[in-house]
Structure 1
Amino acid sequence: MKVAAIDLFCGIGGLTKGVSNSGIKVIAGIDIDSESQFAYESNNDACFINKDVTKVTAQEILDLYPADTDVKILMGCAPCQPFSTYNQKNGKNRKNVDLIGYFSKLIADVQPHIVAMENVPQLSKEKVFESFLEALSQNGYEYTWEKVFSPDYGVPQTRHRLILLASKFSKISLIPKKYTEESYLTVRDIIGNLPFLNSGEINRGDLLHRSVKLNEKNINRIMQSVPGGTWRDWDEDIRLECHKKDSGKSYDAVYGRMRWDKPAPTITTKFYGYGNGRFGHPDQNRALSYREGALLQTFPIDYKFYDVSSKFSGKKLGIQIGNAVPVKLGEVIGESIITHLLTLNN
C-alpha cells in the first residue's frame, strides 16, 4: 500500500518531520511564508511550495500525489492565533478564521482518504469547527477529535492541543497515551546537558544556542527568581509598576524560571524573552536559547533552521519555532494513521 501526505500551512516542517519519522512519505508542504523554505527543505525529503493556501486549487494538490498512490493524506495546522485564549481575551482580529473553512473546502474537493488536523483546544468552541465536522460527515468521513495534553505523548511542555483524525475507510482514533505523570519528560531531560550560556552569549559550537541579552534590572530580577516562582520573590524595588497595582497583582505568568524536573511551559513565539512567560532558565541567569526552545518543541538537535550565510533574525526564528507543530505530536499523528491502515488489512 503506497501512502503519501501533503502538509498545508507547513511552516518549517514540525508536522512533516514527525509524520515522516513515523514512516509516511510526505510529498510537499505548502505555506505563505517564504522564509520557512530553507528549514523545511533542508530537513525534510519534501518540496516546499510558497503559496497562500487560499490560492491553491484542488487540482494542484491532486497533481502532487504520485499516480500510484493508494492512500492520500491531507493534513495541516491552520494558523491558530485567532482562536488562542490570549487573543480572544484581548480582542485581536480574527482574519485567519476563514483558513479553517478553506481547509474544509479543499478536503471536499480533493477527497483525500485521510485527514489530520492539529490546532488549539479553543477551536472546538468555534462555529467554524462545528461546520468543519459537518462537512466531514457530509463527505463520507468518520472522524474523532480530542484535546491532548502534550506530555502524555512525549512533548516536554504543558501544551494542550486539539488533534482531529478523519478517514474514508472506517473509524480512526489517536493511539493510546505513551507517558504518565510519573514518566513525563522534563526540562532536565531535554536541555540539561547543553553547554552553559550567559545572558547575551552565543555558543560558537552551536550558533542556535544563543540567548538574548538582559539589561541590568532584569539580571537582578532573574537572580532573585526561583524555579516555579513568581515576581513576588523579588525585592520591592525591582518589581514592575504594573505588579504594584491591584490589576496586575494576580498576573504572575511572566518573569519566571522553569523547573528542572517538570515539563516546560508552552513554548510560544517569544520563548526567548525572559519577560514573555516562564522562560527563565532553571539555574542560569538568562532566558531560553533558541536551541533550547527548539529542543523543547522536540525538533532534533541537528535540525537546520536558517542559512548561516544569511542575517540572523531572532524574532523571525522565534515565530517559526513557536508556531511549529511539535515533532513528537507529528509522530503520534503519523503512528495513529499507520495503526488505522494496518487494521484495514486484518
Structure 2
Amino acid sequence: MKAIDFFCSGGGMSYGMQDAGIQILAGIDFDENCKETYEANINGAEFIHADVFDLKEKELQKKLSLKKNDDELIMIGCSPCQFWSIINTNKTKSSKSKNLLVEFSRFVKYFRPGYVVVENVPGVLRRKDESGLNEFIEWLKNNGYANPHFKIHNVNDFGVPQSRKRFTLIATRISDEEIKPLELEGKKTVVKDVLGIDKGFPKIEPGHRDKSEFLHTTSNLSNINKTRLTKVEKDGGNRLGFANDPELQLKCFEGKDDSFKDTFGRLWWNKPAPTITTKFFSISNGRFVHPEEDRALSIREGATLQSFPLAYKFKGTSIANIARMIGNAVPPKYATSIAKAIIKNHTNG
C-alpha cells in the first residue's frame, strides 16, 4: 500500500503510516521550511513544494505516475486548521485555511483512491456545513465510499502521552466496513512514561542549547519568570503559587484567579500532557512547564509528547520554527493506529 500526504508539514502522519508498513510516495506542503525535516525522516518520499490552491490534478498524476481508481492508494489530507480552531487565532489571517478541505476533495474526486484519510481539529465537524465537510461526506457516500468513519478521537487512547482531541475521517470504496483507528488496550500513556532523567532527558537550565540532533533545547527565561517558577508547586502546580506575591503577580491576572490557570502551569507526571501546541516552548502560552525543573519544555520533550521517536531529526532555523512543525503535526502513534486499521481492512477486503 502507498500514500500521498497532503499538508504533510514535518511528517508526523507520513512517519506513522510508514512505521505501519505503508510506502509514502510524496508529501505536499506550501511551507518549504518542512522539506529538510520531511526528507530526513520519510524514506524515499518526494517533498513537493506546492500550494494546493495552485496544484492541478493532472500535474500531480504525471509527477508521481499515479493511476486513477488505485485500490492500494491512500490519500491523506491533514490541512492546517487555524480557522476552525477554538484557540484564539487571527481568523482573517487564517481564512484561506478554511477552504483547504474543499481543495483536497478535488484530488479525491479525480483519483478515487482506495482509501481516504482526513485529520483535523474538532471544529471542522462542529461546523461541518461551513468547512465543506458535509458536502465531502455526502460525495463519498454517493460515490462508492459507503460507510465513512468520521468522529472525534482523543489521541491518548492510541498510545500518545497527550490529551488531544482530533477529528478523523477514514473512508474506503474497497469494502462496506467502517474503518476505525485501532485503540491500544491497557493503561493510558502518561508524562512519566516518556519524560524524565530515567527516560534520557538530563536536567537542564532555562536557555540551554543542545547542539546535537537530540535538541534538548529550551527557551530562556527572564529573572522574574525564573523566580515565579520556583513558587509553582512541582507536579501539576499553577500560577496561583505566586498570585499572592505583589512583586510576582502579573497585572493581567489580578483578581482573575479562576481564569487561565494553565498559564505558568506544570505538567503532571501521572497524567497525559495537555495538547501540545506550536507554542509549547513558552511558559506563558499554556501548561508547558516541566513537572519538576523550573523551565519550559524542551524541543525534544515536546516532540516526545507528540509521540515522535527520540531519533526523529528536526531541521529548522529557530526554536519557534521547529516547535511549529511539532505542534502542527499529527502524532505519529495516532497515524500508525489509522494505518494499521486500513491495512487490516485491505488484507481482509
TM (normalized to structure 2)?
Answer: 0.91
Instruction: Provide the aligned length of Structure 1 versus Structure 2.
Output: 335
User: 1:333 offset after TM fit, Å?
Assistant: 1.2
Instruction: Give secondary structure in 2 for the equivalent of 1:54.
Output: coil
User: In the alignment, residue 72 of structure 2 is paired with which amino acid?
Assistant: V
Q: Which runs of 5+ in 2 are unaligned?
A: none
Q: 1:102 to 1:17 in 2, by over 3 A?
A: same
Pairing 1:180-259 to 2, within 5 Å after superposition: 180=186, 183-192=187-196, 193=199, 194-206=201-213, 208-226=215-233, 227-234=235-242, 235-237=244-246, 238-246=248-256, 249-259=258-268
- Verify the 8 A CA contact 1:19 1:330 in the aligned structure 2: yes
Structure 1 residues 4 and 65: alpha-carbon distance in aligned structure 2, compared to 1, 3 A threshold: farther
- Matching residue within 164, 167, 170 for 1:162: 167
Query: What is the aligned partner in structure 2 of residue 29 from structure 1?
Result: 27
Say whether the 8 Å CA contact 1:78–1:100 is kept in structure 2.
yes
User: What is the CA-CA distance between 1:219 and the residue it aligns to?
Assistant: 0.7
* Aligned equivalent of 1:12: 10
Distance in 2 between residues matched to 1:340 and 1:66, nearest whole Å: 22
Pairwise CA distance, 1:249: 4.1
Equivalent of residue 174 in structure 1, options 153, 156, 180: 180
Q: CA deviation at 1:208?
A: 0.9
Q: Distance in 2 between matches of 1:207 and 1:176?
A: 30
- Distance in 2 (CA, whole Å) between partners of 1:93 and 1:70 is 34
Deviates more, 1:213-222 or 1:89-98: 89-98
Alignment of 1:260-299 (within 5 A): 260-299=269-308
Q: CA RMSD in A?
A: 2.0
1:44 pairs with 42, 45, 48, which one? 42
Q: Which runs of 5+ in 1 are unaligned?
A: none
SS of 1:35 mapped into structure 2: helix
8 Å CA contact 1:4–1:65 kept in 2: the answer is: no
* Structure 1 counterpart SS, 2:87: helix
Mapped contact 1:6–1:73 kept (Cα < 8 A) = yes
TM-score if structure 1 supplies the norm length? 0.91
What is the identity percentage for the equivalent residue pairs of Structure 1 and Structure 2? Answer: 36
Deviation at 1:101, TM superposition (A): 0.7
Equivalent position of 2:340 in the other structure = 335
Residue correspondence of structure 1 range 107-122 to structure 2 within 5 A: 107-122=108-123
Aligned pair in 2 of structure 1 residues 335, 245: CA closer, same or farther (>3 Å)?
same
Instruction: Give the counterpart letter for 2:134 in structure 1.
Output: E
> What is the aligned partner in structure 2 of residue 71 from structure 1?
72
Cα 1:179–1:288 shift into 2, 3 Å: farther
Query: Distance between the aligned counterparts of 1:56 and 1:214, measured in 2?
Result: 43
Partners of 1:65 and 1:16 in 2: CA distance = 19
Larger CA deviation: 196-205 vs 26-35: 196-205
1:80 alignment counterpart: 81
Shift of 1:92: 6.7
Task: State the distance in 1 between where 2:65 and 2:2 align.
Answer: 7
Three-state SS of the structure 2 residue aligned to 1:116 is strand
- How many angstroms does 1:67 deviate by? 6.4
Contact 1:151 1:179 in 2 (8 A): no
Aligned to 1:130: 134
Instruction: Supply the distance in 2 between the matched residues of 1:132 and 1:306 (Cα, whole angstroms).
Output: 35
Letter in 2 for 1:129: L
Cα distance change, pair 88–298 in 1 and its aligned pair in 2 (3 A):
same
